[in-house]
Amino acid sequence: MEPLARWEFTLHDVMVNGELVVATVHLRGERRGHTIDTMGGHLFRINDAGQIAEGWGFVARQDDLDAFFAA
């Protein structure tokens, strides 16, 4: 991921259903003169100890995020 000049998440919503938690976020970043500005989400599975056991991330503009990190 380095070098990142800026990497910001703004949390919008958090929803819980049993052992699953989803958070929606607005992501902004700058890296090597390229910028990203997109919505996304993170899905987590919480274990019995209250820890994150698994996690998955999603963004609305995956191709843009791929290009951002490829630069």
What span, in angstroms and rounded, lies between the C-alpha atoms of 55 and 41?
A: 11
What span, in angstroms and rounded, lies between the C-alpha atoms of 62 and 22?
A: 18
The larger pLDDT score, comparing residue 1 to residue 28, is at 28
Q: Which amino acid is at 16?
A: V
Q: How confident is the model at residue 1 (pLDDT cuts 50, 70, 90)?
A: low
DSSP annotation of 5 reads: S
- The per-residue pLDDT for 28 is 96
What span, in angstroms and rounded, lies between the C-alpha atoms of 37 and 54?
A: 25
Residues 35-54 have pLDDT tens digits of 999 999 999 999 999 999 99
Instruction: Provide mean pLDDT across the span 25-39.
Output: 95
Q: Which domains does the chain have, with CATH numbers?
A: 6-70 (3.10.450.50)
DSSP annotation of 49 reads: T
